[in-house]
């Protein structure tokens, strides 16, 4: 199977590529990545000789047409992915997340190629803290940030291309990922690398916002289950019942590092900060028989801390720039 992975030098796409080469001997992988600040070719170094790497943008229609024409399936991870950046400058989010997805859809339409669109639970907006309800495929779209609005728009484009043009596509909306190769701007790697540097973790607001954590490998096994057995036109929610508030996550990290439970700082909150995300993944589990492997969050975090400890050469070059961006908002 010839697999075109967009955004394969980013966090989830790189893990997807490494896992695919490990687990699927029949797969030939081409990665298309623009190598923005969030893309790092060295994440693909372990498989560099076994893949084709193309440096380019999903908004480049000619390039996309050529690559899609040579693929059996496109797995679309490429995106601007960070909420805080989207508050600072939404414009690349509109370009990559909306125009890029449109460009890919037109190409898969022309070539009749199977398409899987990787999206987020943030398209559904926020849940309240005192209600056990979770997101389901029936939850109305209600995105809060420029990031989640562009991801919501890209989901709608995919749905319309399925219905209007018969494109063979599936969509997945996943909860918050953690694991190796995640950019140091994101919550968990930011705090881990702060702690490695002897800097106190930084919690937005009171730290009571809840995220539903899933290990990146579990996200990717779910993506493959959908590509292999998912129904065309269907949306699958991916989550592993990992709800924790941010304060709990920071406290667990402090414990892993043998630091005092109150050894962190509160910093200004994110404007429009969604309170809680939580996924009901019943369809994925019942229909496709998927189950997560990383069910012990603390053990998954310990392994992630270990990875960042051993791979300082990977994250160090991005750390100062990420912190300089946060310094501008006092976060
Ligand atoms: P990331 O920011 O780590 O990686 C994004 C990658 O896309 C980078 O390699 C970047 O260079 C590349 N890219 C950006 N613009 C591009 C363009 N115009 N053309 C080609 N490549 C481009 O993001 P991530 O966390 O790995 O997220 C991957 C996907 O998964 C995104 O679509 C995101 O919305 C979705 N998602 C992420 C999470 C999460 O917790 N991180 C959860 C659910 C869904
Ligand atoms: O320093 C921090 N302190 C803090 O308290 C940072 C960077 C974040 N936070 C909070 C904000 C969120 O409540 O931690 C939580 C997680 O923050 P992020 O890592 O920025 O993730 P989030 O905004 O929840 O979005 C993530 O999950 C859904 C990904 O970045 C998205 O790409 C994905 O769609």
Ligand 1 atom with minimal separation from the 35 CA: 11
Domain boundaries, the chain: 2-177+213-238
217 catalytic per annotation: no
Residue 289: its pLDDT value, please? 97
ipTM for the predicted complex? 0.99
Report d(CA 323, CA 261) in Å as an integer: 23
Evaluate: CB of 213 within 6 angstroms of ligand 1: no
pLDDT digits (tens, 9 = 90+) for 235-273: 999 999 999 999 999 999 999 999 999 999 999 999 999
pLDDT digits (tens, 9 = 90+) for 292-326: 999 999 999 999 999 999 999 999 999 999 999 99
Residue 314: its pLDDT value, please? 98
Contact (Cβ atoms closer than 8 angstroms) between residue 202 and residue 191: yes
Contact (Cβ atoms closer than 8 angstroms) between residue 3 and residue 75: yes
Evaluate: CB of 183 within 6 angstroms of ligand 1: yes
Q: Which one of 121, 155, 280, 323 is the catalytic residue?
A: 121
Residue 286: its pLDDT value, please? 97
Q: Which one of 147, 277, 294, 308 is the catalytic residue?
A: 147
pLDDT digits (tens, 9 = 90+) for 120-171: 999 999 999 998 999 999 999 999 999 999 999 999 999 999 999 999 999 9
122 catalytic per annotation: yes
pLDDT above 90 as % of the chain: 99
Ligand 1: distance of its center to the CA of 74 in Å? 15
Strand partners, 172: 118, 236
Ligand 2: distance of its center to the CA of 131 in Å? 21
Residue 151: its pLDDT value, please? 99
Phi, psi of 236 (to 5 degrees): -115, 130
Residue 199: its pLDDT value, please? 97
The mean of the pLDDT values for the chain is 98
Evaluate: CB of 81 within 6 angstroms of ligand 2: yes
Ligand 2 atom with minimal separation from the 249 CA: 14
255 catalytic per annotation: no
Evaluate: CB of 78 within 6 angstroms of ligand 1: yes
Q: Which pTM value belongs to this model? A: 0.99
Of 149, 303, 97, 156, the closest CA to residue 218 belongs to: 303
pLDDT digits (tens, 9 = 90+) for 188-225: 999 999 999 999 999 999 999 999 999 999 999 999 99
Atom 13, ligand 2: which residue's CA is nearest?
209
pLDDT digits (tens, 9 = 90+) for 78-102: 999 999 999 999 999 999 999 999 9
Residue 53: its pLDDT value, please? 98
Q: Which ligand is nearest to the CA of 38?
A: 1
From residue 320, alpha-carbon distances to 53, 100, 141, 281, 324 in Å are: 27, 29, 36, 37, 6
Ligand 2: distance of its center to the CA of 22 in Å? 29
Task: Check the CA dihedral 147-148-153-154 and report its sign.
Answer: positive
Decide which of 3.40.50.720, 3.30.43.10, 3.40.718.10, 3.20.20.60 is the CATH code for 2-177+213-238. Answer: 3.40.50.720
Radius of gyration of the chain (CA): 19
Ligand 2 atom with minimal separation from the 331 CA: 1
């Amino acid at each position: 199977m010839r697999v075109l992975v967009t955004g394969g030098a980013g966090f989830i796409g790189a893990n997807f590529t490494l896992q695919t080469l490990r687990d699927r001997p029949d797969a030939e992988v081409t990665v298309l990545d623009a190598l923005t600040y969030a893309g790092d070719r060295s994440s693909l170094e372990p498989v560099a000789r076994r893949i084709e790497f193309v440096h380019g943008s999903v908004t480049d229609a000619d390039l996309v047409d050529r690559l899609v024409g040579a693929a059996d399936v496109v797995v679309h991870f490429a995106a601007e992915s960070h909420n805080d950046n989207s508050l600072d400058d939404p414009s690349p989010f509109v370009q990559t997340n909306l125009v890029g997805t449109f460009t890919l859809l037109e190409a898969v339409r022309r070539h009749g190629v199977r398409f899987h669109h990787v999206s987020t639970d943030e398209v559904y907006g926020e849940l309240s803290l005192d209600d056990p309800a979770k997101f389901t495929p029936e939850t109305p779209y209600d995105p809060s940030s420029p990031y989640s609005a562009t991801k919501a728009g890209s989901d709608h484009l995919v749905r319309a291309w399925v219905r209007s043009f018969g494109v063979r596509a599936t969509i997945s909306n996943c909860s918050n990922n953690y694991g190796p190769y995640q950019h140091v701007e994101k919550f968990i790697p930011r705090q881990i690398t702060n702690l490695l540097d002897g800097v106190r973790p930084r919690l937005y607001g009171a730290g009571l916002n809840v995220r539903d954590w899933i290990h990146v490998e579990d996200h990717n096994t779910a993506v493959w289950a959908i590509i292999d057995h998912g129904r065309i036109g269907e949306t699958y929610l991916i989550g592993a019942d990992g709800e924790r508030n941010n304060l709990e996550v920071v406290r667990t990290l402090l414990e892993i590092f043998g630091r005092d439970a109150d050894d962190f700082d509160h910093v200004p909150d994110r404007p429009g900060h969604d309170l809680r995300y939580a996924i009901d993944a019943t369809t994925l589990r019942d229909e496709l028989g998927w189950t997560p492997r990383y069910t012990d969050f603390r053990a998954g975090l310990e392994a992630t801390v270990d990875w960042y400890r051993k791979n300082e050469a990977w994250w160090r070059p991005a750390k100062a720039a990420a912190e300089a961006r946060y310094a501008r908002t006092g976060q």
